[in-house]
Amino acid sequence: MGPLPPMIHAYRSAEQALCVNSFLVEGEQAVVAIDAPMFVSDARAYRARLDALRKPLAGVLITHPHPDHYNGVAELVDDDQVPIIALPDVDQEIRARDPEKRARWVPVFGDEWPKSARYPNRVVPAGAAVELAGLRFTPVDLGPGESVSETIWVLEGPRPPIVFVGDLVFEGTHPYIGDGMTAAWIDALTRAQETLDPAAVLYLGHGSPVGLPSSVLQEQKRYLLMIREVVRRLAQGATELSAEQKKQLVETMTTYTGGARMTYLLEWGSDALAAELAHAVGG
Nearer to Zn ion, 234 or 266 (CB): 266
Amino acid in the structure at residue 148? V
Minimum Å distance from CB 202 to Zn ion?
15
In DSSP notation, 213-278 reads HHHHHHHHHHHHHHHHHHHHHHHTT-SS--HHHHHHHHHHHHHHHTS-B-THHHHHHHHHHHHHHH
Nearer to Zn ion, 66 or 228 (CB): 66
Minimum Å distance from CB 120 to Zn ion?
16
Minimum Å distance from CB 206 to Zn ion?
8
Check: CB of residue 50 under 8 Å from CB of residue 24: yes
Minimum Å distance from CB 54 to Zn ion?
31
Nearer to Zn ion, 70 or 137 (CB): 70
Minimum Å distance from CB 1 to Zn ion?
38
Nearer to Zn ion, 66 or 174 (CB): 66
Nearer to Zn ion, 153 or 235 (CB): 153
111: Cβ contacts below 8 Å, ≥ 6 apart:
40
Minimum Å distance from CB 146 to Zn ion?
5
Nearer to Zn ion, 146 or 271 (CB): 146
| 44 burial type by CB count under 10 A (0-12 exposed, 13-18 middle, 19+ buried) | middle
Residues of this chain that bind Zn ion (CB under 5 A): 66, 146, 167
Residue 37: cis peptide before it, omega within 30 degrees of 0: no
Spatial distance between the Cα atoms of 125 and 36, rounded to a whole number of angstroms = 21
Minimum Å distance from CB 195 to Zn ion?
19
104: Cβ contacts below 8 Å, ≥ 6 apart:
none
| 53 burial type by CB count under 10 A (0-12 exposed, 13-18 middle, 19+ buried) | middle
Phi first, then psi, for residue 251 (nearest 5°) are -60, -45
249: nearest Cα among 207, 221, 265, 171? 265
- Say whether 143 sits in a helix, a strand or coil: strand
Minimum Å distance from CB 20 to Zn ion?
8
Nearer to Zn ion, 38 or 135 (CB): 38
Amino acid in the structure at residue 149? S
Nearer to Zn ion, 53 or 183 (CB): 183
